């Protein structure tokens, strides 16, 4: 076993086990067993929240890794590709119209987020179909354009809604982990395992895809088909995840990048590291979000970028320095 | 054996290839040359299955390539692109192993045998110091060597090269030429698109001269000044003569 592995796994397990105990109300083993209120906070609020944070964080990071590989571009993330803003538009729309249908007992907002992501994918693929080119350039550029367009629609809706709705819209747009129950977790878990499984199944294809279209063809991979299929599948999953936690943009960029630096020699390790570190980053920043200024909760999206950006710049500088 | 029958290819109304007929026998070593925009790279991409909306028919070992899966094609043909573009960090080992990808399936990862072939190739190409490095940190010649090795691992009978000599220093050019001769002796079918005809004329079996999508000449006549002049609009003497300066000034 690699030392880096043990370090990541070890801190991961420790952080995940400790996080639910810390907060405005401290939980210890005694009160967990004897105090009903404490036990409720622990089991019904903090544990599901930690799990949701981990699932969402690692999914966002994994989606970033996959997009980077299939688009051969380290800036290709759910955020730049328009999927996030599609989901955001859907959710904002739902808040504005006070829409509340529920599906399988889940909050309707999630469905609108998912539908928004679908509209994004549909538009991007339609543009590609019209120009008859499913090249990286077409998909990336239409994604970026749709991103801008949807963002402005979101701002228009924000102007139109009343004050309280604006606050909830802004809060959602910054990104945050809303309290969920086990119902939502049970809904997300199969999706999450499906996502991880296909990533491992397709790891050889992902490696080949990142080496260029001609390389892929010469090794027998139909890269165009692969790229489109994976783009659609990952976007579907993202649409759902984003409707739960908001468009937290930074994780999809920073985590795969750090994983690549740490585990240069093996793509499988890069996948594992991305899954674990993505999950840890979001759970840990969410933990900070609710404990730094109690009882106020800072939206986690702010903390992710606030800590993430300087850390990312630091990593970037030190890795580039080693290269030269 | 590759058989190309009445191949034409247009992008919108622009004719890229016009009515190409060609038969490439096993073990042949072909040089394809012609001015930029003649359709050389397009021809290679069609053979590889990247471009499929062409007119005409192409058979490899008597089977229409449109009826082959991409993996089946990759068991027979490999292609070395002109530029290797690696925008993300990528480990040399994984590039090499990709050569065994045509032999895998969704539920079957690289086998023990694949790793044996990988190890043998690493020995053969003397790549030990590179296997765990990021391809982006390698020099142009080293990169070419890795790409050649990945083709070798693929165990194909037909190899397509697109301008393999660009950006190589003389030593790397010599090594590559040596390697091509070795492949020829091993009975591989080689198809090389290149402007470096002075390097290749002495080693190839046959030439294909292309101009604006049409065949100027195809066959085993090898070097011929008229073919050269017809294809490139330049006198060959002008390029190689000791008195080139005088010839240029005369014009």
User: What is the tens place of the pLDDT at every residue in A154-213?
Assistant: 889 888 888 877 887 887 787 777 777 888 889 899 999 999 999 999 999 999 999 988
List every span in chain B annotated with CATH 3.40.50.300.
Answer: 2-76+156-250
The overall average pLDDT reported for chain B is: 87
The answer, for A68 touching chain B at a CB cutoff of 8 Å, is yes
For residue A296, the enclosing domain spans 3-319
CATH number of the domain where residue A129 is located? 1.10.3470.10
pLDDT on residue B156: 92
The stretch A260-267 carries a mean pLDDT of 84
CA distance A31 to A41: 11
> Would strands B206-211 and B29-33 be described as parallel, antiparallel, or unpaired?
parallel
CB A67 within 8 A of CB A228: no
Q: Is residue A192 part of a domain?
A: yes
Phi, psi dihedrals of residue B168, rounded to the nearest 5°: -100, 145
State yes or no: pLDDT of A279 exceeds 70. Answer: yes
Q: Is residue A26 part of a domain?
A: yes
The stretch A96-116 carries a mean pLDDT of 70
ipTM rounded to 2 decimals: 0.88
State yes or no: pLDDT of A303 exceeds 70. Answer: yes
Residues of B with CB under 8 A from a CB of A: 45, 48-50, 69-75, 77-81, 84-91, 93-95, 97-99, 101-102, 104, 106-107, 109-110, 132, 134, 137, 150-151, 154
pLDDT on residue A203: 93
Lookup: tokens for B114: 């694949």
For B191-236, write each residue's pLDDT tens digit: 999 988 888 888 888 999 999 989 988 888 777 778 888 888 887 7
Q: Does domain B2-76+156-250 have CATH number 3.40.50.300?
A: yes
pLDDT-above-70 percentage for chain A? 94
Q: Is residue A221 part of a domain?
A: yes
| Beta-carbon separation of A74 and B109 below 8 A | no
- The domain tally of chain A equals 1
> Would strands B158-162 and B189-193 be described as parallel, antiparallel, or unpaired?
parallel
The stretch A227-255 carries a mean pLDDT of 86
Q: Is residue A324 part of a domain?
A: no
Q: Is residue A30 part of a domain?
A: yes
pLDDT on residue A103: 55
pLDDT on residue A324: 53
For A67-95, write each residue's pLDDT tens digit: 999 988 877 877 777 888 888 888 888 88
State yes or no: pLDDT of B246 exceeds 70. Answer: no
pLDDT on residue B245: 65
pLDDT-above-70 percentage for chain B? 95
Chain B contact set for A212 (CB, 8 A): 81, 84-86
| Beta-carbon separation of B88 and A201 below 8 A | no
Encode chain A in three state secondary structure. Answer: CCHHHHHHHHHHHHHHHHHHHCCCCCCCHHHHHHCHHHHHHHHHHHHHHHHHHHHHHHHHHHHHHHHHHHCCCCCCCCCCCCHHHHHHHHHHHHHHCCCCCCECCECHHHHHHHHHHHHHHHHHHHHHHHCCCCCHHHHHHHHHHHHHHHHHHHHHHHHHCCHHHHHHHHHHHHCCCCCCCHHHHHHHHHHHHHHHHHHHHCHHHHHHHHCCHHHHHHCCCCHHHHHHHHHHHHHHHHHHHHHHHCCCCCHHHHHHHHHHHHCCCCHHHHHHHHHHHHHHHHHHHHHHHHHCCCCCCCCHHHHHHHHHHHHHHHHHHHHHHHHC
For A124-144, write each residue's pLDDT tens digit: 888 888 877 777 788 888 888
The answer, for A320 touching chain B at a CB cutoff of 8 Å, is no
């Amino acid at each position: 076993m690699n030392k880096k592995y043990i370090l990541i796994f070890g801190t991961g397990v420790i952080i995940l086990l400790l996080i639910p105990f810390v907060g405005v109300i401290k939980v210890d083993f005694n009160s967990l067993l004897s105090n009903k209120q404490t036990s409720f906070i622990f089991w019904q609020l903090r544990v599901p929240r930690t799990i949701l944070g981990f699932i969402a964080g690692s999914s966002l990071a994994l989606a970033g890794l996959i997009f980077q590989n299939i688009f051969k571009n380290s800036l290709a993330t759910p955020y730049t590709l328009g999927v996030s803003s599609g989901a955001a538009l859907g959710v904002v729309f739902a808040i504005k119209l006070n829409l509340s249908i529920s599906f399988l007992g889940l909050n309707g907002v999630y469905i609108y987020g998912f539908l928004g992501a679908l509209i994004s994918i549909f538009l991007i693929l339609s543009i590609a179909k019209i120009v008859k080119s499913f090249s990286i350039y077409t998909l990336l550029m239409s994604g970026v354009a749709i991103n801008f367009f949807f963002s402005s629609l979101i701002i228009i809706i924000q102007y139109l809604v009343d004050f309280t709705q604006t606050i909830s819209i802004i809060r959602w747009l910054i990104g945050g982990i809303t309290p969920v129950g086990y119902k939502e977790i049970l809904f997300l878990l199969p999706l999450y395992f499906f996502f991880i499984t296909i990533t491992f199944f397709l790891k050889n294809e992902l490696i080949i895809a990142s080496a260029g279209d001609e390389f892929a063809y010469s090794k027998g991979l139909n890269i165009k088909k692969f790229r489109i299929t994976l783009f659609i599948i990952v976007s579907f999953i993202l649409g759902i995840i984003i409707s739960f936690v908001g468009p937290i943009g930074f994780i999809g960029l920073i985590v795969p990048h750090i994983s690549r630096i740490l585990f240069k020699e093996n793509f499988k390790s890069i996948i594992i590291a991305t899954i674990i570190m993505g999950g840890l980053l979001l759970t840990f920043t969410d933990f900070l979000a609710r404990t730094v200024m109690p009882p106020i909760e800072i939206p986690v999206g702010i903390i992710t970028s606030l800590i993430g950006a300087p850390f990312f710049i630091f990593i970037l500088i030190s890795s580039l320095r080693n290269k030269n | 054996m590759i058989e190309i029958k009445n191949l034409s290819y247009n992008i919108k109304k622009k004719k890229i290839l016009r009515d190409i007929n060609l038969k490439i026998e096993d073990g042949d070593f072909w040089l394809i040359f012609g001015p930029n925009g003649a359709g050389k790279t397009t021809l290679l991409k069609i053979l590889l299955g990247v471009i499929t909306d062409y007119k005409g028919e192409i058979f490899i070992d008597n089977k229409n390539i449109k009826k082959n899966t991409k993996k089946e094609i990759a068991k027979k043909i490999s292609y070395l692109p002109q530029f290797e573009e690696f925008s993300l960090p990528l480990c040399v080992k994984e590039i090499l192993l990709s050569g065994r990808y045509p032999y895998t399936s969704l539920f079957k990862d690289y086998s023990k045998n694949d790793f044996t072939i990988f190890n043998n190739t690493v020995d053969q190409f003397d790549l030990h110091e590179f296997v765990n490095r990021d391809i982006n940190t390698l020099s142009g010649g080293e990169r070419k060597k890795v790409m050649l090795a990945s083709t070798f691992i693929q165990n194909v009978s037909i190899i397509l090269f697109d301008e393999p000599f660009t950006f190589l220093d003389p030593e790397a050019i010599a090594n590559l030429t040596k390697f091509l001769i070795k492949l020829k002796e091993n009975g591989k079918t080689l198809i090389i698109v290149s402007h470096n005809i002075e390097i290749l004329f002495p080693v190839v079996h046959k030439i294909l001269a292309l101009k604006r999508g049409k065949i100027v000449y195809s066959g085993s006549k090898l070097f011929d000044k008229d073919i050269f002049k017809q294809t490139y609009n330049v006198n060959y003497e002008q390029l190689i003569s000791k008195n080139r300066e005088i010839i240029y000034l005369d014009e």
